[in-house]
Amino acid sequence: MRHGPFIFLGILCAVLASWLGAVVAPQLQFGDQALLKLDDLGIEYPLARNGEAKQGAEIYRAEGCNYCHTQQVRSRGEGADIARGWGKRRTVSRDYLRDLPPMLGQMRFGPDLANLGERQTNATRLLMKLYNARIEMPGSTMPRFPYLFEARKLRYGQAPSTNALPLPAIFAPPAGTEIVPTTAALQLVAYLQSLKSETLFYEVFPPQPPKKTNQVAVAVGGTNAIPTTNALPATNTAPATNTPPATNAPATNASASP
């Protein structure tokens, strides 16, 4: 084994390089990111979750929702995710500061949930989705989570609880039974409704207006606007706008000082 030390050095360098690239570099880039005080909005971003929603995050993780749902608005090309209504901007690393661990997800069998709390404010609809996704969307491939609910027998003549799910007839349990959410289901829904990352701040690129198409260029070209507008600023700015500031500045200073 004459090459032993070289092989060892080679492996060490490979491990070291990937550690520098995958651990040290991101740590230097994002490691010291802190909550952002947005004084004009009177908030600290990302928004804090209440205890119920924090518990819900654990249930989200335990149920493996992130195997089918991402929490990241990507912006590729024309911003397909934004066009789908999944957010007003792409997500940035700061959006996950309160998440331990962040539930990025990688597969999109279902819609992205990064901004679910912005678009779905109806807790009952979310509970129904968890109980049986097909109530709202026939043929949905989202699994049911019936164990997050409790089937309760009603005594004869007893009115159903106020938090019983208003299930349509074909999904309803046998007569005399009601379906009520467990604490876990309510916590999960509190978490889902806390998913909001649309706040704009400086490191976020606000969504751009759609790119100009050829049509616009043709319209501009057709009116001969290009030659005239190009000529005007070129001749106007050079002599006219350059000279007044130069002469104005001393003049205003002089008149202000006495």
Q: Which residues bind ligand HEC (CB under 6 A)?
A: 60, 63-65, 67-69, 109-111, 116, 120, 126, 129, 133, 137, 140-143, 145, 188, 192
Rounded least distance, CB 148 to ligand HEC, Å: 8
Which CB, 9 or 137, lies closer to ligand HEC? 137
Which CB, 67 or 205, lies closer to ligand HEC? 67
* Distance in angstroms (rounded) separating the CA atoms of residues 119 and 117: 6
Rounded least distance, CB 166 to ligand HEC, Å: 18
Let me know if 191 is exposed, middle or buried by CB neighbors in 10 A (0-12, 13-18, 19+): buried
Rounded least distance, CB 116 to ligand HEC, Å: 6
Q: 4-12: which pairs have CB atoms within 8 A and are 24 or more residues apart? A: none
Q: How many CB atoms lie within 10 A of CB 125?
A: 12
Rounded least distance, CB 179 to ligand HEC, Å: 16
C-alpha count within 13 angstroms, C-beta hemisphere, residue 10: 5
Give the residue carrying structure tokens 């090309």. 77
* Distance in angstroms (rounded) separating the CA atoms of residues 215 and 222: 10
* Distance in angstroms (rounded) separating the CA atoms of residues 185 and 51: 14
Q: How many CB atoms lie within 10 A of CB 183?
A: 13
Rounded least distance, CB 8 to ligand HEC, Å: 44
Which CB, 94 or 187, lies closer to ligand HEC? 187
Please check whether residue 190 is in contact with residue 56, taking contact to mean a CB–CB distance below 8 angstroms: yes
Give the residue carrying structure tokens 């289901």. 185
Determine the distance from the C-alpha atom of residue 118 to the mean position of all C-alpha atoms in its chain, rounded to a whole number. 10
Rounded least distance, CB 120 to ligand HEC, Å: 6
Which CB, 138 or 157, lies closer to ligand HEC? 138
Rounded least distance, CB 185 to ligand HEC, Å: 9
Determine the distance from the C-alpha atom of residue 54 to the mean position of all C-alpha atoms in its chain, rounded to a whole number. 18
Which CB, 53 or 65, lies closer to ligand HEC? 65
Which CB, 44 or 63, lies closer to ligand HEC? 63
Rounded to 5 degrees, what angle do the CA atoms 172, 173, 179 make? 90
Which CB, 90 or 129, lies closer to ligand HEC? 129
